């Protein structure tokens, strides 16, 4: 039986997102050792994460639109080279501002070339198993945290933070570039067992029309609030555990536990979404996320950190692939790169808030108490916004003449 090539796309995308986002998300592990070694404040280092997500947001929109024109393979190749360059140069930074530019701006912008374009391409390969395929691509993000955090912590312990960051940058080149060469667009009509729908049959909007719809605004604002809620707790998870007496290596494995839980959350929620719909699963996951964040207020021991990490990881991991499914359901395949890139831009604005806000709140109050209070409240807000989603079948009523979709 011949392997459907869409699953090769999924495998390549998992490798790319695992290595690429593992490199970017590893900054939380570097936070404490870099602060001690260089004398830089947690707020200053966390600002690099702010730049990460702001630039990734701009990059998601830019690279997503570019992938609709020149193809995802070229976009991921360029982005992979740029991401490795930024990480390697950050490992040699002599000042905080240099580090913020290389790791924050360059790595962040490069990371925008990975998830949104690869997710858009994956949705074009699949019909029957679309939610599962997108969930597996998104699972690469969880694998990145699970594998990179302990690796970085081990190298830091045995060498220093510069060596660890240099190795991670080299690994980005080693894995992303070959994986990108496997990416290609589906032939006309090639899907996983069902005929591909035409643009007119799906009633696709143009990019300009899509960005003006209430559906786009609802998805974008929900994605923003969802990411604003979980970005701070994820980034400061390791340092928060260390502050409560957890050994550094054990604290890094707490982040790995959250990453593993997010991996299972993506797969399980993807399977369920294929059967009951993405909106129902999203609402449940967002509610669970808000509750899990509030539990951090009572964590003091290692076992508690593991328990909350598993619950929290499952929740934030489970909801992440669902936004791509909703965008595909509402706006179709033809402008998927542009539409999901624009939604991704909103999400990265939310991701940018948590790390720097957490660093500022810690420096101001000496704890992460107010970070978890604010994050949980924003998580509740994400649930409220998600309730406003309309059914995708209502979309064709706002379409212009059929010729506008071509």
Asked if 80 and 21 count as a contact pair (C-beta separation under 8 A), the reply is no
Q: Is the pLDDT of residue 45 over 90?
A: no
Is 405 within a domain? no
- Residue 192 counted as domain residue: no
Give me the chain's average pLDDT, please. Answer: 84
Q: Has residue 14 been placed in a domain?
A: yes
241 is written with which tokens? Answer: 């555990």
194 domain-assigned: no
State how far the Cα of 405 lies from the Cα of 393, in Å rounded to an integer. 17
pLDDT tens, residue by residue, 119-176: 888 888 887 778 788 888 887 877 877 788 888 889 998 999 999 999 999 999 999 9
The single residue listed with the structure tokens 């045995």 is: 158
CATH number of the domain that residue 45 is part of: 1.20.1250.20
Mind spelling out the 3-state secondary structure of 350-371?
A: HHHHHHHHHHHHHHHHCCCHHH
Q: Give Cβ neighbours of residue 158 (< 8 Å, ≥ 6 apart).
A: none
- Is 403 inside a domain boundary? no
Work out the number of other CB atoms within 10 angstroms of the CB of residue 394. 11
DSSP state at residue 94: S
User: Does a structural domain hold residue 191?
Assistant: no
Of residues 181 and 212, more confidence is placed in 181
393 occurs within a structural domain: yes
The first and second tokens of residue 276, run together, are 């009951």
pLDDT in tens, 25-44: 888 788 888 988 888 887 88
Can you list the alpha helix ranges (DSSP code H) found in 244-319?
248-276, 278-295, 302-319
Yes or no: say if 289 and 230 are a contact pair by the CB < 8 Å rule: yes
Query: How many other CB atoms sit within 10 Å of the CB of residue 364?
Result: 10
pLDDT of residue 105 exceeding 90, the answer is yes
pLDDT in tens, 265-313: 888 988 888 788 888 899 999 999 999 999 999 888 898 999 999 999 9
Domain enclosing residue 127, as ranges: 5-186+202-398
Q: State the pLDDT at residue 389.
A: 83
Q: Is residue 197 part of a domain?
A: no
| Rounded Cα distance, 395 and 331, in Å | 8
Task: State the DSSP code for 297.
Answer: G
- Maximum pairwise Cα distance, the chain: 64
The total number of structural domains in the chain stands at 1
């Amino acid at each position: 039986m011949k392997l459907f090539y869409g699953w090769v796309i999924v495998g390549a995308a998992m490798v790319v997102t695992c290595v690429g986002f593992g490199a970017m998300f590893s900054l939380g592990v570097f936070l404490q050792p870099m602060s001690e070694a260089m004398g830089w404040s947690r707020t200053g280092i966390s600002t690099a994460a702010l730049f990460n997500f702001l630039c990734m947001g701009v990059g998601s929109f830019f690279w997503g639109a570019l992938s609709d024109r020149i193809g995802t393979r070229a976009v991921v190749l360029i982005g992979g080279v740029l991401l490795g360059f930024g990480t390697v140069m950050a490992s040699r930074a002599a000042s905080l501002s240099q580090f913020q530019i290389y790791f924050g701006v360059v790595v962040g912008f490069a990371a925008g070339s990975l998830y949104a374009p690869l997710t858009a391409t994956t949705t074009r390969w699949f019909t029957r198993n679309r939610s599962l395929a997108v969930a597996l691509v998104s699972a690469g993000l969880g694998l990145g945290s699970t594998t990179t955090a302990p690796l970085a912590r081990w190298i830091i312990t045995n060498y220093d933070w510069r060596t660890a960051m240099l190795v991670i940058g080299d690994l980005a080149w080693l894995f992303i570039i070959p994986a990108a060469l496997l990416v290609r667009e589906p032939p006309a009509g090639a899907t996983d067992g069902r005929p591909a729908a035409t643009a007119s049959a799906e009633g696709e909007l143009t990019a300009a029309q899509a960005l003006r719809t209430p559906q786009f605004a609802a998805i974008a604002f929900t994605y923003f609030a969802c990411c604003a809620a979980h970005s701070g707790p994820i980034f400061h998870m390791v340092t928060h555990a260390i502050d409560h007496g957890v050994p550094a290596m054990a604290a890094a494995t707490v982040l790995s536990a959250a990453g593993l839980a997010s991996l299972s959350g993506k797969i399980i929620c993807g399977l369920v979404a294929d059967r009951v719909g993405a909106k129902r699963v999203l609402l449940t996951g967002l509610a669970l996320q808000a509750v899990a964040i509030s539990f951090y207020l009572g964590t003091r021991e290692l076992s508690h950190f593991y328990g909350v990490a598993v619950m929290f990881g499952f929740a934030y991991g489970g909801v992440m692939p669902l936004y791509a499914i909703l965008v595909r359901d509402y706006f179709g395949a033809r402008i998927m790169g542009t539409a999901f890139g624009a939604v991704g831009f909103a999400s990265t604005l939310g991701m940018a808030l948590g790390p720097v806000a957490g660093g500022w709140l810690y420096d101001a109050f000496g704890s992460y108490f107010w970070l978890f209070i604010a994050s949980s409240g924003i998580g509740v807000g994400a649930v409220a916004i998600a309730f406003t989603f309309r059914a995708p079948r209502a979309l064709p009523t706002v379409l212009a003449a059929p010729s506008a979709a071509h």
